[in-house]
Amino acid sequence: MDQRDLRKWHRLIAPIIFLPLFVTAATGVIWVARSWFGVSVQQPQRKAMGIEGETLI
C-alpha cells in the first residue's frame, strides 16, 4: 500500500472515528460544566421534558 492509498483511506475513516469521539467529549464537558455554573440536576430534565412535549405538573 503506497502513501496515496493510505491517505485515501485516512480521509475516509478519520471523520467516522472523529465524530463519535467529539460528540462524547463535548457532552462530557457540558455535563461537567453544569456543576461549574451551579445548574441543578432538575433543570436539564425539565428542559428535556419541554422538548419532548410533556407537561410540567
Label each residue of the chain as H, E or C.
Answer: CCHHHHHHHHHHHHHHHHHHHHHHHHHHHHHHHHHHCCCCCHHHHHHHHHHHCCCCC
pLDDT of residue 29: 84
Domain ranges of the chain: 3-52
pLDDT of residue 32: 79
Is a pLDDT exceeding 60 seen at residue 23?
Answer: yes
pLDDT of residue 30: 81
Between 9 and 53, the more confident residue is 9
Task: Give the integer Cα–Cα distance in Å for 48 and 44.
Answer: 6
Is a pLDDT exceeding 90 seen at residue 14?
Answer: yes
Between 46 and 12, the more confident residue is 12
Between 46 and 6, the more confident residue is 6
